[in-house]
Amino acid sequence: MRYGNAYAVLNFVVVNPTLGGSLMTKGMPSLNCAWGDYSGSLKLNSGRSQWGVTGDFKLTNKIGSYREYHETFTKPDGESVTRTETPLGGYNSDK
């Protein structure tokens, strides 16, 4: 046998296209405010050469947003620990 005592052989045939390409786009807009994440990719094949361009864009419309979070943990002995998360500043942290 060609592969000795192998129980199975996987034969992957990979073909590199010599002409053509692909175009992919993705958009994830928000329905109720001006937030979104968009991307696009273009790949072109010519002979043995492959060329690609990718772009990403995130739309926030300068909306001020922040997160404030409080949680309390109670240990089995009755002692409790409170953790508070507050914004540190910056454009997206202003109230």
Q: Is the dihedral of CA 13, 16, 20, 21 positive or negative?
A: positive
Q: Between 85 and 17, where is the model more confident?
A: 85
Average pLDDT value for the chain: 81
Separation CA 67–CA 46 (nearest Å): 49
Count of Cβ atoms closer than 10 Å to residue 95 Cβ: 7
Classified as helix, coil or strand, 94 is coil
CB 22, CB 43: distance < 8 Å? yes
Average pLDDT over residues 60-65: 66
Distances (CA, A) of 56 to 12, 18, 26, 27, 65: 33, 27, 9, 10, 22
This model's pTM is above 0.85: no
Which of 66, 24, 64, 69 has its CA nearest to residue 43? 24
pLDDT at 94 over 80: no
For residue 14, which amino acid is it?
Answer: V
